Amino acid sequence: MKCSCPNCSNLIEVDAPGNPEKGSFIQCPECNAKFWRHLENFSLRAFKKDWKIFCAQCGEEIGLDHYCKGCGAYYPEYWVVQKDQAPKHKPIGPAFSLDISFSSTKASKTAFVLPDIPKPTFKDDSYEGSSPFLKVVVGLVVILALVGFGVKTYMAHKAEQTFIKAYVKTLFGIRAATTANQRLINKRLENAGDLLSNTEQAKMKRINGKIEALLAQLEPTPDDFEAATTELKNLFREYQSLHQITVSNSVFQDDILTVLRERDEAIKQSAAKVKSSLPREIVEEINSVTNKYTNLKYFGAG
């Protein structure tokens, strides 16, 4: 395999590991520095952070495109190269932290005003002259109520942020998988409807599994995002219809072009419904990641 050493930046060629998905440390033959490399499927491209990735077929560095500029392969598997061992991708889920901070852009959504709590009254206005113990008890009850209200609001905010990020990744996955299916269909048409290879069939099956796992993370759905989630699931169903054509084990019929045009139009209409249903919070998240998820520019603002 070819890659660039993260320490000295020289282009080097090293042997592929025995278990490429698991990865291993290797030593640069130029500067003797050790670095980590492992193989990933392109469906994990959404999780890539700052480290470099290189096409598994030709060794060319892959940027933000969905294809390798070196060999022209679409959605290729790639090598991840970095100084330290890659962290495992953790499933998206709500987390709790005592650091209660909110983004200024979400102030209108997360800010809250505490209700006025009336001073307790007792018969014969005996509160003012009540025992210190009773005053302490009443004070503790008020404090616990305020703390409970704050924690509940904070947890709702964190759950919403987690949902938004999962939604955007799911939408990216569906768009990328749709493009991959269209490429494979074009390939079959160019080859007189030849069936997909076992490798191509397995690759598309893995991508579908990733998308279904992301969709599962959208449950339960916050009330403000119900409509957008429903349209996203409809878009996934339209994609699955196209996918069934891609992986079919039968030769394309004479009316295949008409069928494909109908599928393409249905997907476009479904994507338009997703766009029109997106709440402001999801649109803002999309706008913040379009440099990495370029296929989501259609759903952003402006």
> What percent of the chain is predicted at pLDDT more than 70?
74
Is 97 contained in some domain? no
Q: Name the band, by pLDDT with cuts 50, 70 and 90, for residue 179.
A: very high
Q: Is 211 helix (H, G, I), strand (E, B) or coil?
A: helix
Is 198 domain-assigned?
yes
Whether 185 maps to a domain, the answer reads yes
Cβ(78)–Cβ(54) under 8 Å?
A: yes
d(CA 272, CA 276): 6
> What is the distance between the alpha carbons of residues 252 and 257, in angstroms, rounded to a whole number?
9
Q: Domain count for the chain, please give it.
A: 3
Residue 213: the pLDDT is 93
Q: Is the pLDDT of residue 93 over 70?
A: no
Contact 52, 61 (CB under 8 A): yes
If asked whether residues 218 and 265 sit together in one domain, one would say yes
**What pLDDT does 157 receive?**
74
Asked if residue 143 belongs to a domain, the reply is yes
Q: What does pTM read for this prediction?
A: 0.50
Q: What is the mean pLDDT of residues 181-201?
A: 84
Confidence of residue 83 (pLDDT cuts 50, 70, 90): confident
**76 domain residue, yes or no:** yes
Asked if the structure places residue 154 within a domain, the reply is no
- pLDDT > 80? residue 204: yes
Residues 249 and 203 in one domain: yes
- How do the residues of the chain divide into helix, strand and coil, expressed in percent and rounded to 5? 50, 10, 40
Q: What is the mean pLDDT of the chain?
A: 78
> Which of 121, 148, 175 is at the close of a domain?
148
For residues 38 and 291, the model is more confident at: 291
pLDDT given for residue 41 in this prediction: 73
Please calculate the CA angle 203-209-211 and round it to the nearest 5 degrees.
110
pLDDT value at residue 146: 79
Q: What is the band of 118 on the pLDDT scale with cuts at 50, 70, 90?
A: low
- Considering only CA atoms, give the Rg of the chain: 26
In sequence order, what DSSP letters do the residues of 68-123 get, joined into one string?
A: -TTT--BS--EEEEESSPPPPPPPP-----S-----GGGHHHH---PPP-PPP--G
Alpha carbons within 13 angstroms on the beta-carbon side of residue 121 total 4
Per the structure, the complete domain to which residue 57 belongs is given by: 2-82
**How would residue 114 be classed by pLDDT, with cut points 50, 70 and 90?**
very low
Torsion of the alpha carbons at 21, 25, 26 and 32, rounded to the nearest 10: 160
DSSP, collapsed to helix, strand or coil, labels residue 237 as helix
18-38 as b/e, with b when 16 or more CB fall inside 10 Å? eebeebeebebeeeeeebbbb
Return the closest-CA partner of residue 231 out of 281, 269, 283. 269
Query: For 28-42, 207-221, 279-293, which range has the lowest pLDDT when averaged over its residues?
Result: 28-42
State whether 191 and 280 are in the same domain: yes
| Predicted confidence (pLDDT) per residue in 216-269, tens digit | 999 989 888 999 999 999 999 999 999 888 888 776 777 888 988 999 999 999
Same domain assignment for residues 205 and 256: yes
**124/251 same-domain check:** no
Same domain, 130 and 214: no
Residue 235: what residue type?
L
Q: Are residues 178 and 270 in the same domain?
A: yes
pLDDT band (50, 70, 90) for residue 99: very low
Give the model's pLDDT for residue 137. Answer: 81
> What is the pLDDT at residue 140?
81
> 294 with 172, same domain?
yes
**Token pair for residue 174?**
């569906």
Peptide bond into 220 cis (omega under 30): yes
Distance CA 286, CA 70 (A): 29
Q: What token pair was written down for 259?
A: 């069928």
Mean pLDDT of all residues in 109-134: 53
In angstroms, the CA 71 to CA 38 distance is 20
pLDDT attached to residue 302: 56
pLDDT of the residue at 107: 40
For residue 45, how many other CB atoms are within 10 A of its CB? Answer: 19
Stated as kind and residue range, the H or E segment containing 2 is strand 2-4
pLDDT score recorded for residue 134:
80
Q: How many helices (H) and strands (E) does the chain have?
A: 6, 6
